Amino acid sequence: MEVGTDIRDALGHPLRQELLAMLAASPEGLSLAELARRFPHLAISAISYHLRLLGTCGTASATWQDGSQTWRYGVDYARV
């Protein structure tokens, strides 16, 4: 998929649907490490790839948390 991915294409993958559901269920967001623990059979790079695609179509966003020095991913409700 390319930049500007259509939301229907992005959500057509079962893993991205599951990631988005997990993000929606966590108001404080989830870090990449937290998501990786929920998918021990997947490489972190694969999870990151799918998060990027969700971000490209505007359904997910990342916020830097200074206290924990990590990115937290969540649903971008303004764009969904």
**pLDDT for 2:** 47
Instruction: Kindly report, residue by residue over 44-56, the tens digit of the pLDDT.
Output: 999 999 999 999 8
Name the nearest CA neighbour of 59 among 5, 30, 37, 46: 5
13 backbone dihedrals φ, ψ, rounded to 5°: -100, 130
Q: Which residues contact 41 (CB under 8 A, 6 or more apart)?
A: none
- How far is it, in rounded angstroms, from Cα 46 to Cα 19? 12
Instruction: Kindly report, residue by residue over 6-35, the tens digit of the pLDDT.
Output: 888 888 999 999 999 999 999 999 999 999
